Structure 1
Amino acid sequence: MNAMLKTVTFAFAAVMASMASPSLTKADEKPPVKLEAAAPKQSPDAVVAKVNGVAITRGEIDRAVKIFLAQNRSPQQPTPEQVEQLEEGALEQMIAAEVLYQAGVKQAPKDVEKLADEKVAQGKARFPSQEEFEKALNANSLTEKELKELTRKDIIINNLVEKEVASRITVPDSEAEKFYKENIDKFKRPESIKASHILVGVDSKASAEDKKKAREKADGLLKKIKEGGDFAVLAKENSTCPSSAQGGDLGYFGKGQMVPPFEKAAFSLKPGEVSDVVETQFGYHIIKLTEKKEAETAKFSDEKDKIKEYLKNQKMQQAVAEYITELKGKAKVERMEAAAK
């Protein structure tokens, strides 16, 4: 249900998702997106629309678009036309969110204030300090008080949708089984394996001497393994791959997911076997095959719950859209065209 609500509570969900992700590394950070407007914009306080007299401002729309762009991290600056489309989409979704919120206030949980405080506190706890938390708030043009208000509204909207829409949607087993039979190809699983590796990393452009040293180290490690050395321990101590923290465990993967030399060597092994030293552009690998799964078609009994959840979400999308249309029909929605441009 949360994935569906993100399309409805555009501003609320976007802000909460943005506040819940403080762990970006420096390598992930990008300069702020500069919005090129098609025409000069009015003041952030300018009213763009009203829902039963409640204003939606230019500043709220701009903030929603800014957060959306930051989350999606497009490598290119959006054109004025794209910005205009995003603004229109944000406005439509904020109008939808407002009609839902107004309808939901009457059914709001009695402890909504407590729930909002707890949710904000959980988000704040993910930051290493109050300073970092406030920095994230400032980046989203928010105060902590405004964040709590957005969170409170989000809780009320979720509660309404759960009571008035989600609780009424059912997916019988027969419908799920029909979907399974009509989409059987979606449930075919190719051959996959689970493997661990030790990587002695060396750049493909490294000198012949550096490559020789790396190869000698890999050969030495392979010798230790053949003499009974613990593969996981040796991986933790020597591998330059991040998987070293898990003893070299790469989990399950299928064909086409690894570079060709690595894939060829890994798929040729039997469970428990260890490869010779394999060279790729990343360096020298020693691969240990842990498990192998043959190609198969997943059984309906194993996939039933996932199918039902998928079909319920599909019905939810439609039902929420219809519910919003119904609420809009009963509400007074005004759009101030001059302020929206």
Structure 2
Amino acid sequence: MHYHHAAPKSLLVLCAVTMMLSGCAGARPTATAPPAPATPPAAQAAPAAAGEVVARVNGKEIHRNELERSKKILMAGQPGIPPYLLKELEKQALDQLVGAELMYQAGLGLQIKDLDRMADAKLVQIKSGFKDQQVYEKELANIGMTEQMLREYSRRDLVIANLVNTKLAADLQVTDLEIEKFYADNPERFEQKEQVRASHILIGCDSKGTAEEKKKARDKAERLLKEVKEGADFAKLARENSTCPSATNGGDLGYFPRGKMVPPFEEAAFALKSGEVSDVVETGFGFHLVKQTDRIKAEKVSLATAREKIVAYLKSQKTGEVVASFIGRAKQDAKIELLLK
């Protein structure tokens, strides 16, 4: 199945992963909606300069800064949203915050042992995903949060996750018939395209550089190729010489299918056999040495292989449905004031 699990690159992504489920009851102002993630956030604890109140949920205020953050999260995955949809997106973001707050308030009625310890552990886990403290703090500033706010976000998220996992979705099951039907009805999802795994050494050179600059870069690439042919460690040379960020991983770019890389690089990578290194390849980025390290042949993924991912996907869909239903009922019983101008 074409599911991609990448490590979050920013706190904005971390927030987005937990945000979307609370909006299951309403449609996003876009043509394509992603699969529903596991749990939503609750509305943030407001700092001193939180801005105007845009809603109240059973007396709990939701402030302008929370709404702006939510809008930013929604827009992060939807670049180029036309202006006429921005107002609708703002309403959708507020609706998700209201839904999240309703879930948080309901979740407070369930006991969670060691909640504060769990929130601290989650914060440590989040911080460990960043290169250093400076990058982490920059990301916090990016989404207008302090570390204290992020910890509160994590704590409230745990409350909501507990509500979903122990009450709302605790008894959800996926039957064999549902698994088989999904597999049969979605053949395109189980077509494994041919992929290669490759590493490279890039000697960067601007495509608009002078002939002398290009010659210097190519000559260096040729010297490194000679070292590789003489038995030098490719990964070590990449770490020491490559101007690509992948240098920190020994030049490893992971797996990719056709159509993901610029044509000269792709042609070289797919033409190689596992373990082979290309001649110098020129692209708009500079001069590359490409090493293929593995190949996955095109094939149809079997039901047995795909089963676990199908179960997870179908459970996420069912979870989205029960959460949407819960929020719909909660809205009927709650006192909600929408003050958005």
TM-score normalised to structure 2 length: 0.74
CA gap of 1:208–1:61, structure 2 versus 1, over 3 A, is same
Q: Residue 230 of structure 1 aligns with which residue?
A: 233
| Whole-angstrom distance in 2 between the partners of 1:125 and 1:4 | 18
2:294 is equivalent to residue 286 of structure 1: no
Match of 2:179 among 176, 180, 200: 176
Equivalent residues in 2 for 1:60-139, closer than 5 Å:
60-71=62-73, 72-73=75-76, 82=85, 84-116=87-119, 118-119=121-122, 136=140
Q: Residue 295 of structure 1 aligns with which residue?
A: 298
Match of 2:202 among 199, 203, 219: 199
Q: Secondary structure at the match of 2:181?
A: helix
Q: Secondary structure at the match of 1:157?
A: helix
Task: Report the Cα offset of residue 45 of structure 1.
Answer: 6.1
| Whole-angstrom distance in 2 between the partners of 1:122 and 1:275 | 39
| Whole-angstrom distance in 1 between the partners of 2:321 and 2:180 | 21
CA contact (8 A) 2:42 2:156 kept: no
Please identify, of 299-308 and 216-225, the stretch whose mean Cα deviation from structure 2 is larger. 216-225
Task: Report the Cα offset of residue 288 of structure 1.
Answer: 1.9
Deviations 1:158-187 (A, max 9, x none): 222222221111112331122112212211
2:242 is equivalent to residue 239 of structure 1: yes
Q: Based on CA coordinates, which of the two structures has the bigger radius of gyration?
A: 1
Query: Where do 5+ consecutive residues of structure 2 fail to align?
Result: 1-15, 24-38
What amino acid does structure 2 have at the position aligned with 1:310?
Y
Identity of paired residues, percent? Answer: 42
| Whole-angstrom distance in 1 between the partners of 2:164 and 2:277 | 54
| Whole-angstrom distance in 1 between the partners of 2:52 and 2:286 | 57
Match of 1:162 among 149, 165, 175: 165
Task: Report the Cα offset of residue 148 of structure 1.
Answer: 5.6
| Whole-angstrom distance in 2 between the partners of 1:143 and 1:234 | 39
CA gap of 1:67–1:227, structure 2 versus 1, over 3 A, is same
Match of 2:214 among 211, 216, 223: 211
CA gap of 1:156–1:284, structure 2 versus 1, over 3 A, is closer
CA gap of 1:209–1:328, structure 2 versus 1, over 3 A, is closer
Task: Report the Cα offset of residue 113 of structure 1.
Answer: 4.3
CA gap of 1:158–1:248, structure 2 versus 1, over 3 A, is closer
CA contact (8 A) 1:198 1:286 kept: yes
Q: Residue 331 of structure 2 aligns with which residue?
A: 328
2:285 is equivalent to residue 271 of structure 1: no
Task: Report the Cα offset of residue 269 of structure 1.
Answer: 1.6
What amino acid does structure 2 have at the position aligned with 1:243?
S
Task: Report the Cα offset of residue 200 of structure 1.
Answer: 1.9
Match of 1:140 among 123, 139, 144: 144
| Whole-angstrom distance in 2 between the partners of 1:134 and 1:269 | 41
| Whole-angstrom distance in 1 between the partners of 2:127 and 2:276 | 47
Q: Residue 265 of structure 2 aligns with which residue?
A: 262
Number of equivalences: 303
CA contact (8 A) 1:124 1:133 kept: no
Please identify, of 68-77 and 239-248, the stretch whose mean Cα deviation from structure 2 is larger. 68-77
Q: Residue 22 of structure 2 aligns with which residue?
A: 8
Please identify, of 313-322 and 204-213, the stretch whose mean Cα deviation from structure 2 is larger. 204-213
What amino acid does structure 1 have at the position aligned with 2:218?
R
Q: Secondary structure at the match of 2:97?
A: helix
| Whole-angstrom distance in 2 between the partners of 1:141 and 1:241 | 31
Task: Report the Cα offset of residue 85 of structure 1.
Answer: 3.0
Task: Report the Cα offset of residue 317 of structure 1.
Answer: 0.9
What amino acid does structure 1 have at the position aligned with 2:209?
A
Query: Where do 5+ consecutive residues of structure 1 fail to align?
Result: 17-42
CA gap of 1:77–1:5, structure 2 versus 1, over 3 A, is closer
What amino acid does structure 2 have at the position aligned with 1:302?
T
| Whole-angstrom distance in 2 between the partners of 1:212 and 1:134 | 38
TM-score normalised to structure 1 length: 0.74
CA gap of 1:227–1:160, structure 2 versus 1, over 3 A, is closer
Task: Report the Cα offset of residue 110 of structure 1.
Answer: 4.4
CA gap of 1:183–1:83, structure 2 versus 1, over 3 A, is closer
Q: Residue 28 of structure 2 aligns with which residue?
A: none
CA contact (8 A) 1:108 1:159 kept: no
What amino acid does structure 1 have at the position aligned with 2:291?
K
CA contact (8 A) 1:15 1:67 kept: no
Match of 1:249 among 245, 249, 252: 252
